[in-house]
Amino acid sequence: MPFFCIRKMYKEEIEKIIIPVIMRNNCFLWGTEILRGRKNTTLRIFIDSEKGVDINDCENISKDLNYEPTLDLNFGEDYVLEVSTPGLDRKFFDINQLKDYIGEELSLKSKELLFGKRNFTGTLLDFSGKNFNLDVNGKTIKFNFDDTDFCRLKPNFNEIMKENSYAK
């Protein structure tokens, strides 16, 4: 497809196309990323499910989305489609995703300098509206979710391994 025929597609438009496909596979959309590279655009889709997601879910959704002509029309034939789980160190795309992670450790990067730095790691205390509070080294710091470049779970892999009896 010629480059001049490709129009910019917004996240909301993409989600209207992909959410029904994801739901047909008993999963839900965790988030999307559009990465514009020199040669190809990558559409990265993160899915999750109450029962957990495995490679088969990712594969089935990826195959189903390959038959969505609207994606081809908007990204061109050379775009890369990636379907994945959010992983243990999941990135949060919406503040409401934090509700199940109160008491967990998060890492984030703020868009603006705050106390002379942008990178923070702390325990999620609570959230309300667009704001959330982290305990960072015994000090409560309030963040606006919209003012973060990214916010992700910072799992304690040693504890996870012990809980699952992989390590003693």
Q: What is the pLDDT of residue 38?
A: 81
Of residues 25 and 36, more confidence is placed in 25
Q: What is the DSSP letter of 92?
A: P
The length of the chain is 168
> Which tens digits make up the pLDDT trace of 54-87?
999 999 999 999 887 777 656 667 788 999 999 9
Q: What is the pLDDT of residue 72?
A: 62
Q: Domains of the chain, with CATH numbers?
A: 3-84 (3.30.300), 95-162 (2.30.30.100)
Mean pLDDT computed over 49-53: 94
DSSP for 16-73, written as a single string: HHHHHHHHHTT-EEEEEEEEE-SS-EEEEEEEE-TT---HHHHHHHHHHHTT-HHHHH
Q: What is the pLDDT of residue 73?
A: 58
With a CB cutoff of 8 Å and minimum separation 6, the contacts of 142 are 131, 132, 133
User: Residue 71: what are its φ and ψ, rounded to 5°?
Assistant: -65, -45
Q: What is the pLDDT of residue 24?
A: 95
> Which tens digits make up the pLDDT trace of 102-123?
999 999 999 999 999 999 999 9
DSSP for 58-81, written as a single string: HHHHHHHHTT-HHHHHHH-TT-EE
> Which tens digits make up the pLDDT trace of 28-38?
999 999 888 78
Tokens found for residue 20: 């029904």
pLDDT band of 5, cuts 50, 70, 90: very low
Tokens found for residue 49: 């499910």
* Beta bridge partner(s), residue 128: 131
